[in-house]
Amino acid sequence: MTYSDPEYVKRQYRDASNLNARIALHERFSTNSYGLPRWIFDQFELPRQSRILEIGCGPGLLWTENLDRLPGGWSITLTDASPGMVAEAEARLGSDRRFEFRLADAREVPFEEGTFDAVVANHMLHHVPDRPRALAEISRVLRARGTLYAATNGKNTYGEMGWMQRVLDPSRPADGYFRDLLEFSLEDGAEQLSPWFPEVTLRRYEDALVVTEVGPLVEYLLSGPAADSAVRGSNADEFGLRVSDLIERLQQELASRGAIRITKDEGIFVARR
């Protein structure tokens, strides 16, 4: 399994429940008080009259966190391959006339060539099974000198969670959370973008997690690959024992250290046609 496995992505993002559990941990325990959605918005260098496409918009968090900053002249189209995600984004933002909503696959972007000034891909390209096809589509719908803003993680992100994930899923390696599963990362994203975008710049966001409660961390872990039925298996009691073991070990670590520090390595590629 990788994070671009279509069946995994379909189950993982049928709605926003798993994503919201992960967002909650970041909101409570991130060391950088200037949140990532605000920082991502800071990277946009766009005229006050612009057409913007977000692919893989999820529940629309990037925009709900920045509504107070949106120019009146922006026209923003939010797309996702998940009907549940599109519905949640529309429920949050549908009353704002600057937004339109569309069910769409990143590999078949349903817009004409040169439609948009910018495309946003916020922590989603690693979920696309055919990235060359998706990047060709993104390039096609961008205007000349248009910009792709593609946020992602580094491979060392959440490395301390590797052993935690292994407790829940003994088939997983213990030496990293993403390891070889992250196929579009800060380390290799520029190389993947360069065939379609001659100018690619990486900007990093400084942050970490300092977790002082076990419950939200467990909910985070249960929302990821461990949420998959293939991991939980048919024996609910056995999986419950693994969860109890994880809780006990995390409580011991928290008692001995006072907090559990977790690495975050995040950033955004600014790629121009």
Task: In the chain, count H helices and then E strands.
Answer: 11, 7
Q: Averaged in consecutive runs of 10 residues, what is the pLDDT profile of the chain (273 residues)?
A: 72 85 94 97 97 97 97 98 96 97 96 98 95 98 97 94 90 74 93 98 98 96 76 77 96 97 97 96
Phi/psi at 80 (5° precision): -155, 155
Please choose, from the candidates 176, 139, 144, 174, the residue with its C-alpha nearest in 3D space to the C-alpha of residue 157. Answer: 176
Q: 6: helix, coil or strand?
A: helix
| Helices 214-223 and 17-29: angle between axes, nearest 10 degrees | 150
pLDDT tens digits along 133-156? 999 999 999 999 999 999 999 999
- 19 backbone dihedrals φ, ψ, rounded to 5°: -60, -40
Q: What is the pLDDT of residue 13?
A: 84
**Per-residue model confidence (pLDDT) at position 234:** 63
> Do 31 and 209 contact (CB within 8 A), yes or no?
yes
| Threshold 0.85, pTM exceeds | yes
Distant-in-sequence, close-in-space partners of 168: CB < 8 Å, separation ≥ 6: 221, 222, 226, 231, 239, 242, 243, 246
Burial of 105 (0-12, 13-18, 19+ CB in 10 A): middle
Q: What domains does the chain contain, in order, with CATH numbers?
A: 6-158+173-208+265-272 (3.40.50.150)
pLDDT of residue 179: 67
